[in-house]
Structure 1
Amino acid sequence: MRQIDTERNLAKTIFDELRAAVVSGELAPGELYSVHDLAARLGVSRTPVREALIQLSERGMVRFERNRGIRILRTSAHDLEEVFAIRLLLEVPATFRATQLHAPGWVERLREHLEAMRAAAEEHDEAAFMAADRRFHETVNIASGNPRLARYVDSLRDMVSLRGNSTVDRSRGLADILTEHETIFEFIADGKAGQAAEAMRAHLLHTAELLIEQEAEDNDDVARVELDWTNYPG
């Protein structure tokens, strides 16, 4: 983490810095940290750090432990199942609505994010690829006319990031993920709302299944989750 050297938007800056440190693994899952030490590393007082940690706690990213400090949480297979169940309920209809509304300029912005994903895939730059992936989904969700939904889904993605690895590691390459997004984009660009929503649903299901299976493989004490997504919108 870098030291905070400005008072402008201090609370948001501290929150963003701590959130990024948790997502990147700089603050390691399972480890304990004190508010005092984190404040010292950022070069700020403890009060805004504590406030930022409370927000992270509400997102399920950290846990306060009495007289011990802050523990960085790791997402379980059950957590992943819950996260993707919510994303299916929110992002599938959001994709349908966004395609129908066809807000000015949003398809062009979506194309830019897709091009960024394509360039990152060619460079084998997973960090840049996943950042563009995140912007792609955020753009779709905002275009549905519900910015609050977009912010909430973005916070859910933080929980997935807490695993410390991704679907790219062993299950599939960047090119495969890119292909799924290209399919979504093609239907959106053609104004085919139902097919765009179905493509989003297929993408989210595939990602969920890979992540949950990977979590079960990584942890011998985690039972393999039998997924039943038949009741989710399609």
Structure 2
Amino acid sequence: MKQGAQGSTGEGAPRVRAGTGVPSGSGEAGRVGQARVPQQAGAVRGEHTHSEPAPPVHRPVVQRASVRGQIVDALRAALVAGDLKPGEVYSAPVLGERFGVSATPVREAMQQLALEGAVEVVPNRGFRVVERGARELAELAEVRALIEVPVMLRLARTVPAERWAELRPLAEATVRAASSGCRATYADSDRVFHRAVLSLAGNGQLVQIAEDLHRRAQWPLVGAGPGARGRADLVADAHEHTALLDALIARDLDVVRALVGEHFTGAVG
């Protein structure tokens, strides 16, 4: 295409600023859609200056998402530890003061927990921790067994022993976490171990669904205090992980089936 008066002196294609795709001599109109348009008559080459790139606009959003994510994790830990009690209503401003943040990220985090079924919205008041009893826990254990037992039995037949051995540090980490007596710490390490086992199936949807059920199974029951399941219970539950690895390595399907079923009904992990 024939250039305008300023670009017709044999310069060829206009130079482009590195990494931008914008002609170096273009003005504001030329930057829209990265199209070069003729300059106004009488303009002199060099009179258009290049503005510096605008500062990043996504940084505040990332920071806010990070805060929200941290609050979600903190609320989950408080829920598992029994600090947030079933049936109680908690307001976002009060929880915000507790965590040293504004009410907005707390409210957003609580909305996430509401989607997960951990809390329910109470208009003009806040969020109520969902009450659940032994029946719901038994139902969760049954569903987890229906999903995970067949998968683990299949993995026991196909995964080589050395792959199972690689999970030994994760199983031992659950024992250390259980020894601390902190339910929230153990809950996190327990989910990491189970996620690693199921990930060997290569099915991301399975891992996601199983982890959601697992998290729900860790919520406290109605009337259960923080010490309802003590350190000894957590340690016994954690040792089932190492026993499960031994059975998987040995490809002892009967022991795998029994251990997984017992592990789920234990309601700890």
Could you state the TM-score of these two structures normalised by the residue count of structure 1? 0.68
Q: Please, which runs of 5 or more residues in structure 1 have no aligned partner?
A: 1-5, 212-234
Larger radius of gyration: 2
Q: Given the alignment of the two structures, is residue 44 of structure 1 paired with residue 102 of structure 2, yes or no?
A: yes
Separation in 2, partners of 1:196, 1:18: 34
Q: How far is the alpha carbon of 1:8 from its aligned partner?
A: 5.8
Separation in 2, partners of 1:103, 1:11: 40
1:115 to 169, 172, 192: 172
- Residue 241 (structure 2) aligns with: 181
Q: How far is the alpha carbon of 1:143 from its aligned partner?
A: 1.8
Pair 150,166 (structure 1): closer, same or farther in 2 beyond 3 Å: farther
Question: Partner amino acid for 1:134?
Answer: R
Pair 134,187 (structure 1): closer, same or farther in 2 beyond 3 Å: same
Deviations 1:175-199 (A, max 9, x none): 5434433331112112445642343
Pair 7,60 (structure 1): closer, same or farther in 2 beyond 3 Å: closer
* Aligned CA-pair RMSD: 3.3
Question: Partner amino acid for 1:125?
Answer: S
Separation in 2, partners of 1:167, 1:177: 14
Alignment of 1:1-234 (within 5 A): 6-7=63-64, 9-40=66-97, 41-44=99-102, 46=104, 48-102=105-159, 106-119=163-176, 124-127=179-182, 128-163=185-220, 164-165=225-226, 168-169=229-230, 173-174=233-234, 176-193=236-253, 195-205=255-265, 207=266
Which structure has the highest helix share of the two? 1
Separation in 1, partners of 2:259, 2:148: 11
Question: Partner amino acid for 2:249?
Answer: A
Pair 132,38 (structure 1): closer, same or farther in 2 beyond 3 Å: closer
Asked if structure 1 preserves the Cα contact closer than 8 Å seen for 2:174 and 2:190, the reply is yes
Aligned residues: 201
Asked if structure 1 preserves the Cα contact closer than 8 Å seen for 2:187 and 2:218, the reply is no
Q: Please, which runs of 5 or more residues in structure 2 have no aligned partner?
A: 1-62
Separation in 2, partners of 1:166, 1:92: 29
Q: How far is the alpha carbon of 1:80 from its aligned partner?
A: 0.7
Name the SS for the 2:102 alignment partner.
coil
Percent of aligned pairs with the same amino acid? 29
Asked if structure 2 preserves the Cα contact closer than 8 Å seen for 1:98 and 1:144, the reply is yes
Asked if structure 2 preserves the Cα contact closer than 8 Å seen for 1:94 and 1:140, the reply is no
Q: Which moved more, 1:177-186 or 1:88-97?
A: 177-186
Could you state the TM-score of these two structures normalised by the residue count of structure 2? 0.61
